[in-house]
Amino acid sequence: MKAKRARISRGFAGLGCAAVSRVRLGDGLLGDRQRVVIGHSIEQQYEQLKLTGRLDAMRLVFREGSDHPRPHEFWDSDIGKWIESASYALMQRRDADLEARIDAVISDISATQRADGYFNSFFQAVIPERVFTNLRDQHELYCAGHLIEAAVAYERATGKRSLLDVMLRYVEHIAGVFGNGPGQKRGYDGHPEIELALMRLYRQTGDERHLKLAEFFIDARGTTPHFFDAESEARNEKPHGADFHGLRYDYYQAHAPIREQRDIEGHSVRALYLLAGVVDVAWTTGDEALKRACLAMYDSCVDRRMYVNGGVGSTRHGERFTYDFDLPNESAYAETCANISLMFVAARLMNLTRDVRYADAMERALFNAVLPGVSLDGRSYFYANYLATDPKWQRFERAYPAERQAWFGCACCPPNVARLLASLGSFMYSVAPGEVSVNLYADSIIEHEGLLIRQTTNYPWDERVRLSIEGEGKARLNLRIPGWCRRPVMKLNGRGVSLRGGRVVKGYASVEVGAGDVVELTFPMPVERVYADVRVRHDVGRVALMRGPILYCVEEADVKSPVETLELPRRAKVEAKWKPKLLGGVMMLEARGIRRCSAAKGLYVTVAPKAEPVTIRWVPYYAWANRGVGQMVVWLRES
C-alpha cells in the first residue's frame, strides 16, 4: 500500500519549531548548559546504559539464571531517549565514534526485531507469551514511542534510515493489532507517549496512517466499557473497577473521553505527554472539541497546579497532580520529566497560537524546573525537584534524596533532560516562510532562508539583547516581550521603536528586517517579590524572589541553618551582585533580614522567639545542591 502524503511542517515537533541543525548556541548560561550535556552527559549516560545492562538487553541476552540483569519493561525508552539526545548532538557536531555507538545499538535492535515487526527487549526476552496483554502497567507502546522519536531524530541527523525502517515495521504491526476493526484491540497504553511520537513520524513521512493511528489512541482513551477492565478479564484477573491498586482511572487520564476532560489529572508525565500528542492531533485535524479540551487542561495545569518554578506534580504518591492550589514545598515532586513535558506542551501551543503566555511558561520551566535536573558538571541528576528541603526529612520519607544521583533504577529523567537541552535551539526559535520568531533569549545564531540572525546577549544575567541581520533577503522578525518585563525598550538601527499600538500582538513585537539591520532590546530586571495565591496554603505569609526569568533560593551553603528560621522584612532592599566564580558565574541576591531564635529553653515555651539581624543570600534555584548536601528554601516568611 502506497502511503498517502500530506503537506505538513517538518520542523522539530512540527508546528514551526526551528530545526536543531539551523541553530547554534554561543556563550552564556544556556549555551554552557548545552555544551556540558553534549560534552559530558551523553557520554556519562552511555556508560550507565552499558553498566546497568540496558545495552546488552537490546541483544536479548537475558535468560533465567544467567549473569545478565533481568530487563525492565521500560528500559527501551531509556535507549530511545539516549539515541535521540545523541542525534541532536550529531546535528551540531559530527562525531564518528558517537555515530558508531548509535549504529551498534540500532544493529542490535534490528537483528532481534521479530519477523512481524514487534520489538520490546523485556517482553521478547522475559515474557514473550504476554505481548500486548497488560498495556495498563507495562509500557509497551510508551517504549515504542520513544524509539520512534529516536528514529526520526537519527534520520534527520545522519540521513540513515536504519532505525526508522525498524520502527516503521513496528508501527505497521501496532496498526494491525490496535484499531476498531474485527479482532483488533480497542485500547491504549497506560503511559501515553506513542501519540506524540506518531505525530512526529507523520510529519517525517507524510503517511496519514500514522496520523490516523494517533487519533485512534486518543479517541479510545477514557471510553466505556473500560479497556483496562477488559484487559484484566482477558488475563483472568478480577477487574478492580475504577481502582487499580489504589490508582484510579484518572491516574492514566482514562476517567473520561479526552474531549470531555477539563482538569489536568493523574500522573504528571503521562498527562502532559498525552496533552502534547492531543495538541498535535487537534490542530492538525482542526478538531475544535479537542482544542477546547487542550486549552482547558493546560490552563488547569499552569493557572492552578504549577509551582512557582514551573514544576508540576505535587506528590510522589503516584507522581501525580493532586487538586487545585495544593503545592506543598518540602514534599514537592515536580519530576524533571514532568517539567520537560510541560515545555513540550507550551512550545506547541506557543507556535500554534503565537501567544506569549505559552512562551513565558516554557521559559519559566526551562530555567527553573529543567536546568536543576542536571548538575553543573553534567554527570548527576535530580528526579524530584523540591522547593524546600532538609536532608534528614528526605531520609525518613524514603523520597528521592536532595542530592543529584549519577543514575536511577527508573532512569527516565537523565536522558530526557539531555535530549531537551541538546535540542534547545528548536525551542528558542520558530520559523515560517519569510518569518522568524524569537521565543527565548540566549547568545546564538539561526540561519533561515538565506538570512543569518546573530543574537548577542548575556541573558538572563544582562538585560540587553542585540540581534544583527546578515545575508540576503528580508524577513519579519517577531520578538517575544517577556510577561515578567514591565518596561521593555526596543531600537531598530539605533532609533527607538514604540511598543504601543499594534506593534505588539499577543506579546510579540514584529519588525521587518534585512541584511545590515540591528535590533536592540532592553528588558529591565529589577529583583521582584513574588506572592502565591492565598489558596496555596503552604505559601501564605511567604515571599519568593525572582530577577528576570530566574527564581532564587536560600541554601545552607550561604546561610547558617536552619534556613526556615529566616525572614525577609517587607521593606528590606534586595541587591543583585554578579559573582563570576560562584556556581559557574551567577547573579547572587543579598539583603538584610532577621532570624527567629528561641528566647527560652524547652520544646514548647511561653516566651516569644526573638529576632536577630542576619545577612541573607540567595542563589539561582537551578544551581542549588551543587555545593554539597544541605537545607534549602525558596519561600521565606515575610515580616
> How far is 130 from 577, CA to CA, in rounded Å?
60
Give the alpha-carbon dihedral of 579, 582, 588, 594, to 10 degrees.
-120
Positive or negative CA dihedral for 65, 66, 69, 75? negative
pLDDT in the model for residue 96: 97
Helix residue spans in 71-193 (DSSP H): 75-92, 96-112, 121-125, 135-138, 140-158, 162-177
Does pLDDT of 29 surpass 60? yes
195: confidence class by pLDDT, cuts 50, 70, 90: very high
Can you tell me which residue has the cell 482544542? 291
The domain limits of the chain are 36-208, 438-522, 527-638
pLDDT in the model for residue 501: 76
Does pLDDT of 612 surpass 80? yes
Top pLDDT among 65 and 362 is at 362
4-13, 412-421, 576-585: range with lowest mean pLDDT: 4-13
**Pick from 289, 264, 286, 276: nearest CA to 199:** 276
Cβ atoms of residues 84 and 147 within 8 Å = no
Which residues are CB-neighbours of 602 under 8 A, at least 6 positions away?
Answer: none
Cβ atoms of residues 343 and 388 within 8 Å = no
User: Quick one: cell of 79?
Assistant: 535507549
Half-sphere exposure at residue 259, Cβ-oriented, CA atoms within 13 angstroms: 11
242: confidence class by pLDDT, cuts 50, 70, 90: low
> How far is 216 from 285, CA to CA, in rounded Å?
13
245: confidence class by pLDDT, cuts 50, 70, 90: low
> How far is 552 from 555, CA to CA, in rounded Å?
10
12: confidence class by pLDDT, cuts 50, 70, 90: very low
> What are the pLDDT digits (tens) for 285-333?
999 999 999 999 999 999 999 999 999 999 999 999 999 999 999 999 9
Average pLDDT over residues 342-356: 96
Cβ atoms of residues 592 and 598 within 8 Å = no
Could you tell me what percent of the chain has a pLDDT over 70?
A: 96
Does pLDDT of 10 surpass 60? no
Q: What is the pTM of this model?
A: 0.96
Beta bridge partners of 575: 590
> What are the pLDDT digits (tens) for 518-560?
999 999 999 999 999 999 999 999 999 999 999 999 999 999 9
> How far is 345 from 351, CA to CA, in rounded Å?
10
Secondary structure class of 16 (helix, strand, coil): coil
Helix residue spans in 354-410 (DSSP H): 356-365, 391-397
- Which CATH class, in words, describes the domain spanning 438-522? mainly beta
pLDDT in the model for residue 397: 65
Average pLDDT over residues 345-351: 97
Host H or E run for residue 213: helix 208-220
Which one-letter amino acid corresponds to residue 585? G
Cis peptide before 71 (omega within 30 of 0): no
DSSP 8-state code for residue 442: -
> How far is 359 from 484, CA to CA, in rounded Å?
11
pLDDT in the model for residue 8: 34
53: confidence class by pLDDT, cuts 50, 70, 90: very high
Does pLDDT of 387 surpass 60? yes
pLDDT in the model for residue 248: 87
Cβ atoms of residues 255 and 265 within 8 Å = yes
Cα end-to-end distance, the chain, whole Å: 71
> How far is 427 from 345, CA to CA, in rounded Å?
11
Beta bridge partners of 178: 185
Secondary structure class of 481 (helix, strand, coil): coil
> How far is 145 from 191, CA to CA, in rounded Å?
10
Helix residue spans in 307-378 (DSSP H): 336-353, 356-365
244: confidence class by pLDDT, cuts 50, 70, 90: low
> What are the pLDDT digits (tens) for 479-529?
999 999 999 999 999 999 999 878 899 999 999 999 999 999 999 999 999
Spacing of C-alpha 200 from chain mean position = 17
- N residues, the chain: 639
Average pLDDT over residues 338-357: 96
Task: Give CA separation, 477 vs 44, 402, 493, 514, in Å.
Answer: 39, 42, 14, 10
Which residues are CB-neighbours of 344 under 8 A, at least 6 positions away?
Answer: 13, 196, 272, 273, 276
Average pLDDT over residues 202-215: 97
Going by their DSSP bridges, the two strands 610-620 and 586-597 should be labelled as antiparallel
- The residues that are catalytic are 319, 412
Which one-letter amino acid corresponds to residue 487? R
Mean pLDDT taken over the chain: 94
Does pLDDT of 4 surpass 50? no
> How far is 412 from 405, CA to CA, in rounded Å?
13
pLDDT in the model for residue 391: 84
Half-sphere exposure at residue 450, Cβ-oriented, CA atoms within 13 angstroms: 9
Residue 93 CB: number of other CB atoms within 10 A?
11
Does pLDDT of 3 surpass 50? no
pLDDT in the model for residue 531: 98
Cβ atoms of residues 297 and 263 within 8 Å = yes
pLDDT in the model for residue 240: 60
Cβ atoms of residues 515 and 585 within 8 Å = no
Does pLDDT of 428 surpass 80? yes
